[in-house]
Amino acid sequence: MNTLWATFRYFAIIMLELTVLFIAISALVALMLTYISRERLSSWLTRRGLGGNILGALVGSLTPFCACSTIPMTLGMLQAGAPFGSVMSFVIASPLLNPIIIVMLVTLMGWNVAAVYFIVTFVGAVLFGSALQRMGFNSQVKSVRIKPKASSEDDRYVTPTFKEKLAESLQSAWSDYRVVFHYLLIGVALGSAIYGYIPEEFIVGIAGADKLLSVPIAATIGVPLYIRAETAIPIGLGLMSKGMGLGTVVALIIGGSGMAIPEMSMLAGIFKRKLVGALVAGIWLTAVVGGYLFNILA
């Protein structure tokens, strides 16, 4: 009963937090887009070669969002006409390079760990975003409402007052939330059940430091878990104290922070299955490569 209550409490808290975050961030992005033209935003994210992907990853690294909170920003960037590859680099980098994670890594594990973590995840976001663009995954976008371009006959996005812009932004945020609500509900329920009923001892038992496949196993376990930025590093330290190696912990953190069941469910509301699967695979591969690299350096 205690476990059931803790799981239900976790579900209620996460569902409430994600609802508030989604609507607030959606409204904020929509409001920002009333002051920033699509052409300007697109030009910011369009550079020669990998420049657009690098800038997309940089923008992601500066946003203090958890995994699920990147979805409203993604919607806003796609609506603004930003290049697909740059947006994908943002989607991958935003939860992985969350400033909160970086600061906690520096504080609890040192500058060297934080620096290697940043390089691995940043390079992974840039390269994978570029690869998705080159392989034509932009055709896998769905359910994105593209606002009509402002004209002399329709100047709602040019001359309204701030109060009118705010009201329109809140309405847009609510519409976006309704689209992904059932995906979010199912995802948070599954994530809460996994979070509540899989003990840390079980994870360590199948992904201990002395096991050759501990890194890919930890990455595989981490992906369905919803690990918030504020809890990812303390959980990692706790697992290390029970015998899990640094590389295995990093793989778990990258997998858990970069992609979670709630985010997969929400992404399914705007992307087709093939693209969602590709993003999950990219996060998993980044987690595995990063984990083994940490083990080699250690």
At residue 203, the pLDDT reads 61
Domain around 21: 2-297
Please list the alpha-helical segments (H only) found in the chain: 2-33, 38-44, 51-61, 70-79, 84-96, 99-109, 111-134, 162-197, 200-206, 214-222, 229-241, 246-258, 261-267, 273-297
| Cβ atoms 172, 30 nearer than 8 A | yes
Q: What is the mean pLDDT of the chain?
A: 76
Helix (H, G, I), strand (E, B) or coil at 271: strand
pLDDT at residue number 209: 60
Q: What is the mean pLDDT of residues 7-26?
A: 80
pLDDT digits (tens, 9 = 90+) for 181-228: 876 787 678 767 766 776 667 766 666 666 778 888 888 877 776 665
Q: What is the pLDDT of residues 90-146, one digit of tens each?
A: 888 888 886 667 776 777 778 888 899 999 999 999 999 999 988 988 888 875 554
Q: What are phi and psi of 250, to 5 degrees?
A: -60, -40
Confidence (pLDDT) at 212:
74
Q: On the CB side of 234, how many CA atoms lie within 13 Å of its CA?
A: 6
Report the number of distinct structural domains present in the chain.
1
pLDDT confidence of residue 229: 53
**pLDDT tens profile 20-46:** 877 887 788 778 767 766 556 556 666
